Amino acid sequence: MGLSHTLLVYVLVCVHLGVSQHFLRLRPSPSDHLPVPDLKEDPDPEYDPREQDLVERTLRKKLGSNFDPNFMSITSPMVNISTTDVQGKLPGSMPPEIKNIDLTRTPYGKRVKVGKKARRKFLQWLWTYTHCPVVHTWKDLGVRFWPRYIKEGNCFSERSCSFPEGMSCKPVRSINKIFLRWYCQGFLRQKYCTWIQVQYPIISECKCSC
């Protein structure tokens, strides 16, 4: 695909998506605009793909190796919600900003004695309390996407993640999954519709911040 054709497709996608043009595009989107809001679609069924446009074998070939069953589904998933790291052992190693906290020095300069076991338990509790897991939920993108179901990430938001309270979990990193988007150009009988590839950003990491 030449550069001029790539730019043309990109412009057409942005126009077609209207108010959501800066959320869903052929290139990655920044994490501070996630998760992607619901797109405002034209309700006219004339712009929906027909039965002959939804042949699974053809669409799988068009999507190729970009099909990821961990984040996308052709049919409505049986499991509605999948939560990551909300309970149980935290992933990875303890962050250095928590691990290196000096508990022996008070804000007033005095020093106190803290046992190794007590220090370890307190830091583990603090790490658990301030940890920001990614909560995944299945979202129906509608018939104009293929696959139409995506496992979207959200930052855990049931409580403040700081002690004392005030900070909240916010997205700091995302990954991009490629879907097929049904795109129509023109109007009524003069329109031309086809499947094009678009990148859909998904939150992959959250962090406690202001």
Full set of structural domains in the chain with CATH: 45-74+134-209 (2.10.90.10), 91-130 (no CATH)
In this predicted model, what pLDDT tens digit does every residue of 106-121 receive, in sequence order?
667 777 787 888 888 8
Across the range 148-173, mean pLDDT stands at: 89
Over 60: is that where the pLDDT of 17 sits? Answer: no
Q: Between 13 and 118, whose confidence is greater?
A: 118
In this predicted model, what pLDDT tens digit does every residue of 38-57 receive, in sequence order?
888 888 888 899 999 999 99
pLDDT band at 8 (very low <50, low <70, confident <90, very high): very low
In this predicted model, what pLDDT tens digit does every residue of 63-89 receive, in sequence order?
999 999 999 999 998 665 555 544 456
Does the predicted model carry a pTM greater than 0.75?
no
User: According to the per-residue pLDDT averaged within each range, which of 26-35, 95-104, 155-164 is highest?
Assistant: 155-164
Over 90: is that where the pLDDT of 138 sits? Answer: yes
CA angle 35, 41, 46 (to 5 degrees): 145
Please say whether the beta carbons of 119 and 99 come within 8 A: no
**pLDDT number for residue 32:** 55
